[in-house]
Structure formats: C-alpha cells, structure tokens
Amino acid sequence: MKKLLLLSCLLFQLSVSAQQINFFTNDIRQAFNMARAQGKLVFVEVYSKTCEHCAAFEPIFKEKAVADFYNKNFISYKLEVTSPDVRNFLTPKRLYAPSLPLFLFFDGNENLLHFAMSNPTAAETIKHAQNALNPSVRAATFRSRYASGERSDNFLIDMAMYCRVVCDTTLNIKIMEEYARRKTPAQYADKNNWLAISKLVMDVENPMSKYLINNMGAYKAKYGAKEVKLVAENLIMGSLYSGRGAKYDAAKIQQMRQYLVKIGIEPSAANARTLLPEVNYYFAKRQTPQATARAEDYLNNAKAQLPDYMYIIKLFNNRASDASFVPTARKWVNKALTLTAANSPEAQELKAELAKINARK
C-alpha cells in the first residue's frame, strides 16, 4: 500500500511542470497522505477565482526560487473559497479566511502550524514558508508568546489576525483593545490603524471603532466614503448580531440604531435592523408591552408590507409571555388582511394566526 502511495506521489509530481509550485487539487486528504509519506508539511492556498490579488501570485508561484523551496518542503494544495473543501475541511476545523489569498501551513496530521497573508513578491512568499518551518516563530507559538508577555505592535497585529483565522473572537477583542490603548486618538486614522480597523477590529466598543463612528468625515476624506461606510456598518452589525450583542439591553440596542444613522444608514433601515434584537430583549425580560410598542412603532413608520406584518404577528404569537399584545395584534391582522386577496392562502394564514391571538385572552 505504501509503495502505491509513493508511486501516486511520483506520478503527481511528474504531471506538473518543475518550474512552478506543484499544486494538488480536488482531494485535500490525498495531499495530507502524500505529506505524511514524504515527511513534509502541507501548504494550502485559499483563494478565489475572482480575486485580483490572488491572481497576482500566479507568476510568483512559477518563479524558480519559490517553486524549488515549496516543492522541497511542502505538499501544496489550492483551495478555492467557494469549493466543498471549505465546508468539508476548513469549517469543521473552525478556520476562516478573513482575507484572500490566505496561506495556511499544516503538519501531516492536519494541525495548523502557521498562516500568512502576503504581498505578491518572491521574497515574501518564501519568507512565510521559512517561518512555517521554524518552530520558534510560526503562528502555533503565538498563544504561548502572548502569555509570556510579548507585546510589540507587529506581534499584536499578527496575533489578532491569527485569532480571526482560528475564530477566537474573544481573544481578538482583548488584543485589539490592548492595541488601541497603546495609540493616541490622533493616530487612529493613519494608514496602518485604518487597516487594523478594517481587517482586525471586531467589536464596536473598541476605542478605534468609536473614533471611526464619530469622525466619519476624516476617514472618508482619506480612504473613500463607500469603503469607510462599509467598514463602520460591518462593525456595528457584527457586534449587534454577535454573542455579545445577544446580551445588549434595550438602551444599548437603541445606541446601535443611533450609530447606524450616524454613519449614513437611512433611519428607516436602521429602525428595521434593530427591531428584532430589541423586541427579543423585551421578550427575554417578559416585557410584552414594551415589545408591542416597539413593533407598533416599526409597522407605523416603515411602510410595512404583508411579509412584515406576517413575521411580527407570528413572532408575538410564539414568544410573547402574556396576552397584553392581543388588542394591538388584532389591529395588525386586520391591516394585513387589507393587503391580501380574499380567501387567498395568505388570508387564510392570517386568520389562523388571529385564532391563536384570540385564544391568548
């Protein structure tokens, strides 16, 4: 069996040009089998077919110095970000690609040893591979180095990105708060810290996040209105719908709504985006009247359509802890019925929900 595996490895290597990295595709498990048989590590490039930055690496991978170094030390595999490999290999390992291309380096037993995000140069591409081979500097050492007190800016940035790759949000937040405290507000909008905000910060409570929200104009002038708005929006929404956001009280959720408006989101859209978190908070606190008032405000001010009414009616029927919502919910059903055709499936569904409402008396 081992001879067959070695023969397979040999045939694979002969099937590609020697003047490029020998990338394996289609069967990532076979790549690890080959790595174990040859005593090598596995290099996985996570890329996208539509990524221009990824495409810039293609000529780099064909440079002799790069190809020779990688082929000597690694079995290499191309993993397209939309392929089943993501679902079957990356996701079960809780690995995430926050930026592309992402270089991942594993031992033969599929343990992540190192990661890198690179500029498309031969020297940098080789340097990342050298780091992966060096047990004292590769990413697998980051946690112990952090615990031992290593705190340079570059290390904190690398550590925070590693946390994103391995989906350790809690540690990422801690590290980026520590990083932000080392800077002055006057430094927050410089290029390096803008990259940190846009790529690494995951919490709207980070001092750099708050500074961004309160100084959108300064960032837009330097980095473009569309990009800055998108980064700020992602920070707010990512926090709101995170595990942390699930613990927000009503006042904090309302603050998120104000933040959204402040960065340029239409008030009606901000209202809609924060509706469910706020209503769910009231349900959790058994505050049905407050939940009813919040939903009523939304329906009255959002030009609500039939799906809006249907969703909210069902939500209250399923989650309200008492019957105080019943009079208002009847009005919702009556309004929704005016938006349906008589005896339509939607009308019948609304009448069934009305029967549930009436049963709550």
Return d(Cα 24, Cα 110) in angstroms, integer.
16
* Sheet strands side by side (includes 23-24): 23-24, 74-80, 41-47, 102-106, 112-116
Looking at the predicted structure, is the pLDDT value of residue 4 above 70?
Answer: no
The torsion angles phi and psi of 56, rounded to 5 degrees, stand at -65, -15
Written as six digits, the tokens of 274 are 């924060």
pTM of the model: 0.87
pLDDT of residue 220: 97
pLDDT, mean over the chain: 94
Q: Under CATH, which number does the domain 2-134 receive? A: 3.40.30.10
Confidence of residue 6 (pLDDT cuts 50, 70, 90): very low
Sign of CA dihedral 9, 15, 21, 27: negative
Looking at the predicted structure, is the pLDDT value of residue 2 above 80?
Answer: no
- The model's pLDDT over 288-340, given as tens digits with 9 standing for 90+, comes to 999 999 999 999 998 899 999 999 999 999 999 999 999 999 999 999 999 99
- The model's pLDDT over 72-103, given as tens digits with 9 standing for 90+, comes to 999 999 999 999 999 999 999 999 999 999 99
Residue ranges per structural domain of the chain? 2-134
Confidence of residue 19 (pLDDT cuts 50, 70, 90): confident
Residue 64's identity, in one-letter code, is K
* Contact yes or no for 102/126 (Cβ under 8 A): no
- The model's pLDDT over 223-245, given as tens digits with 9 standing for 90+, comes to 999 999 999 999 999 999 999 99
pLDDT of residue 18: 53
In the predicted model, what is the mean pLDDT of residues 163-188?
97
Residue 173 burial (C-beta neighbours within 10 Å; 0-12, 13-18, 19+): buried
- The model's pLDDT over 274-289, given as tens digits with 9 standing for 90+, comes to 999 999 999 999 999 9
- The model's pLDDT over 130-146, given as tens digits with 9 standing for 90+, comes to 999 999 999 999 999 99
* Contact yes or no for 98/165 (Cβ under 8 A): yes
Return d(Cα 126, Cα 255) in angstroms, integer.
47
